[in-house]
Amino acid sequence: MSEPRVPGTRNTPLLIASAAVVVAAIVAIAFAVNAANNATPMAVTTPTPVPTPTPTPSPTPVSEIAYADCSTATFGPALQPLNPPADIHKYTAAPAMTIDTTKLYQATIKTVRGDIVLCLQPDLAP
């Protein structure tokens, strides 16, 4: 009779050979990728652009806007709200224009870092 068969003994050499082939393939691919990344690139010459002459534009006269000197203007005390509505975020229509464009207006914005004082000229931006 023959010897009793031990399971897996016949497949062991095939398994080892297959693993060796897979490892060799991985190593070969790694070397190929590394060689491709380390290859010196070919020098590419780019032509130097030649600037084309452009005519210089002549300056056009700009009309100056006369700004008011708010440092010499005197302003009264800040206005307090008069009969504020219960719901201040809803209006039926835009309010009528009530700004006098011949006067200057001062707005002060108070912040924790200091006040910001604006001088508003309604004749420039009503």
Give the containing element (helix H, strand E) for 19: helix 12-38
Compute φ and ψ for 107, nearest 5 degrees: -120, 130
Instruction: Please state the separation of Cα 47 from the chain's center in Å.
Output: 34
Q: Which helix (H) or strand (E) holds 38?
A: helix 12-38
pLDDT in tens, 19-76: 899 999 998 888 888 877 776 666 666 777 777 777 777 777 767 767 777 777 788 8
Residue 35 neighbours by CB distance under 10 Å: 9
Q: Record the pTM.
A: 0.30
Q: In this structure, what DSSP letter does residue 110 have?
A: E
Task: Give the DSSP letter of residue 83.
Answer: S
Tokens linked to 40: 């010196």
CB atoms within 10 A of CB 119: 15
**Residue 102 — pLDDT band, cuts 50, 70, 90?**
confident
**pLDDT band of 112, cuts 50, 70, 90:** very high
Task: Indicate the burial class of 120 (C-beta count within 10 angstroms; 0-12, 13-18, 19 or more).
Answer: middle
Q: Where are the domains of the chain?
A: 101-125
